[in-house]
């Protein structure tokens, strides 16, 4: 019997706020999913449609994250790798090969390969990119309701002009990554608790 291939990708490495998410997906060869692509190249509506299909039809999947505190403590790369490791280890089916988007991989007890632009090339990684992105975006929408003046629904925590202006006006939140530029220059004067 041939082993299972698992694809892994992350969402949220670049933003100034929020956790970093990762997903691991093993697709079912008997249930092909059409339209898989890099999540950044899909519309929000299409991502949500594919998210629902992946959740329904994948052989196995898991979604995990590393917290803002872990990002600040470890650095974003190590926190991303930690989220990826957690996602793979949470799978209820053990893969024989893990394909990771990018050029860095977490330490796993399973054979692992990195693939640059894997989210555009490998269906399993595309599926993982969609699960990670949709899940993170949903979390940012929840944070938008808690902190409406920061407009997280619009920018998802990225360092847009609107987001920077809100930080300057309202202060640094517990969900902001304190180690990310330009955050350190705002921290001493105005942390919101």
Instruction: Please spell the DSSP secondary structure of 95-127, one letter per residue.
Output: -SEEEEESS-----SSEEEEETTHHHH-HHHHH
More confidently predicted of 181 and 191: 181
Predicted confidence band of residue 91 (pLDDT cuts 50, 70, 90): very high
- Contact by Cβ (8 Å): 63, 87: yes
According to DSSP, residue 40 is labeled G
Among 69-73, 99-103, 138-142, 166-170, name the one with the lowest average pLDDT.
166-170
- Please write the tens of the pLDDT for every residue from 93-105: 999 999 999 999 9
Residue 182: is the preceding peptide bond cis (ω within 30°)? yes
Distance CA 157, CA 12 (A): 9
Instruction: Centre a 10 Å sphere on the Cβ of residue 90 and count the other Cβ atoms it contains.
Output: 14
pLDDT at 101: 96
pLDDT at 121: 94
Instruction: Map out the domains of the chain with their CATH numbers.
Output: 5-136 (3.30.420.10), 146-187 (no CATH)
Residue ranges with strand state E in the chain: 5-11, 20-26, 60-66, 97-101, 111-115
pLDDT at 183: 80
Residue 96 φ then ψ, to 5°: -95, -20
Instruction: Centre a 10 Å sphere on the Cβ of residue 44 and count the other Cβ atoms it contains.
Output: 11
Distance CA 45, CA 51 (A): 10
- Please write the tens of the pLDDT for every residue from 40-76: 899 999 999 999 999 999 999 999 999 999 999 999 9
Distance CA 69, CA 173 (A): 12
Asked if residue 190 has pLDDT above 70, the reply is no
Instruction: Centre a 10 Å sphere on the Cβ of residue 19 and count the other Cβ atoms it contains.
Output: 25
Q: Tokens representing 175?
A: 């969900």
| Percentage with pLDDT > 70 across the chain | 95
Predicted confidence band of residue 1 (pLDDT cuts 50, 70, 90): very low
The whole-model pTM stands at 0.94
């Amino acid at each position: 019997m041939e082993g299972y291939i698992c694809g892994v990708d992350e969402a949220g490495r670049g933003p100034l706020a929020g956790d970093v998410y990762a997903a691991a997906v093993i697709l079912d060869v008997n249930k092909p999913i059409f339209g898989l692509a890099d999540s950044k190249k899909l519309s929000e509506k299409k991502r949500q449609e594919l998210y629902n299909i992946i959740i329904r039809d994948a052989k196995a999947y898991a979604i995990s994250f590393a917290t803002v505190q872990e990002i600040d403590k470890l650095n974003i790369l190590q926190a991303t790798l930690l989220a990826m490791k957690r996602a793979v280890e949470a799978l209820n089916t053990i893969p024989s090969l893990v394909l990771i988007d990018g050029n860095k991989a977490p330490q796993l007890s399973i054979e692992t390969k990195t693939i640059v632009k894997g989210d555009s090339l490998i269906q399993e990684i595309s599926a993982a990119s969609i699960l990670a992105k949709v899940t993170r975006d949903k979390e940012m929408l929840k944070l938008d309701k808690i902190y409406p003046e920061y407009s997280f629904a619009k920018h998802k925590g990225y360092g847009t002009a609107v987001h920077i202006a809100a930080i300057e006006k309202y202060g640094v939140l517990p969900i902001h990554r304190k180690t990310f530029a330009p955050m350190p220059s705002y921290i001493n004067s105005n942390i919101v608790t």
